Amino acid sequence: MLRPVELEAYGLTLRPWEEADVKAALRGLSDPDFNRWNTPSVRIEDEEGALRFIRSRRQGWLRGDMLSFAVAEDGEVRGHVAVQLSDPRMRNGRVGYWVIRENRGRRIASRALETLTRWAFRDLGLHRMELGHDLDNEASCAVARRCAYAYEGLLRGARIDLDGVPRDLHLHARLVIDPAPEAPSAP
């Protein structure tokens, strides 16, 4: 079990999801682009589904294997960022993020990812953070590059989309010993 924390950096607040965030969670999780680039276990199309998502994020903290944050700016939820810890002995994490449609293009994902990455290296003692994104997801590739996640290769058929079609992923990673990028800012 890990105690949920709140992080502030680069004009953002990363905090645990709350049930009061249900409308923002629904906007993000029901977005067609979210469903295009991610494979949720079930499509989220209503507030009950968004509440299940929020509650599962709380369970991830309790289990200590999925540390999820609502990404807020000026008190409003703008997106999501998380790190999955599959094997603590290996000190690796796998990151994911999304931004609500009307907030895209403002480097929220980059600022949130950099905040999460620095925290995970410093406070969780991780050595390696991985980021995988669909081959055609150029926006996620740009986020990875801005946050100094080096491109490591192609993972063929590594994600099955919601229609059952295998998708290729780019794999990026950053090690704790890699130079950190300049502090990200909004464009």
The better pLDDT of the pair 89, 57 is held by: 57
- Structural domains of the chain in order of their starting residue, each with its CATH number: 7-175 (3.40.630.30)
How much of the chain is helix, strand and coil, in % rounded to 5? 35, 30, 35
pLDDT per position as a tens digit, 72-111:
999 999 999 999 997 778 899 999 999 999 999 999 999 9
pTM, two decimals, is 0.94
> Are 68 and 50 within 8 A, CB to CB?
no
Going by C-beta distance under 8 Å and a sequence separation of 6 or more, which residues neighbour residue 87?
none
Lowest mean pLDDT among 37-41, 118-122, 178-182: 37-41
Q: What is the pLDDT of residues 58-69, one digit of tens each?
A: 999 999 999 999
Residue in this structure with the two tokens 């979210």, named with its chain if needed? 34
Q: What's the pLDDT score for residue 1? A: 65
